């Protein structure tokens, strides 16, 4: 199943509503597992439930998760709330979670300002 624990830097892709999500896992020194979760396409209300489940699967057993939003074409408040929730879930599990918005950083900052929220793990936290 996409999003399950993988090793050796392998990637998986899943699509829905014209968007893709990829995960990759690597073993770090000391046996800790670092994973990458890339969101492509919409990060919105319509996809929030699907992405939430896959992101939680990616968190399972990881010591670090890097979330990439560079391929996101659209984000709404539900997408931003998903990122805040993922950060809280990661903290509760002792997992380091970072969010790289890439070229989408100005949109993320504007959305966070308009919504009155702080999106943890982003470059401009």
Q: For each of the chain's 125 residues, which pLDDT tens digit applies?
A: 333 333 333 333 333 443 444 445 555 444 568 999 999 999 999 999 999 999 999 999 999 999 999 999 999 889 989 998 998 999 999 999 999 988 888 888 888 787 777 776 665 55
- pTM, two decimals, is 0.70
- Shortest CA distance to 52 belongs to which of 84, 91, 98? 84
As a CATH number, domain 11-115 is 3.30.750.24
């Amino acid at each position: 199943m996409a999003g399950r624990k993988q090793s050796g830097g392998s990637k998986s892709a899943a699509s829905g509503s014209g968007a893709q999500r990829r995960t990759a896992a690597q073993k770090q020194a000391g046996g800790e597992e670092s994973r990458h979760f890339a969101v492509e396409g919409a990060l919105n209300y319509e996809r929030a439930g699907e992405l939430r489940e896959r992101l939680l699967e990616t968190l399972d057993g990881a010591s670090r998760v890097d979330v990439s939003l560079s391929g996101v074409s659209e984000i709404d408040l539900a997408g931003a709330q998903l990122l805040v929730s993922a950060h809280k879930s990661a903290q509760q599990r002792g997992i380091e979670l970072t969010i790289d918005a890439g070229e989408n950083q100005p949109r993320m900052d504007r959305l966070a300002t308009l919504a009155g929220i702080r999106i943890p793990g982003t470059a401009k936290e």
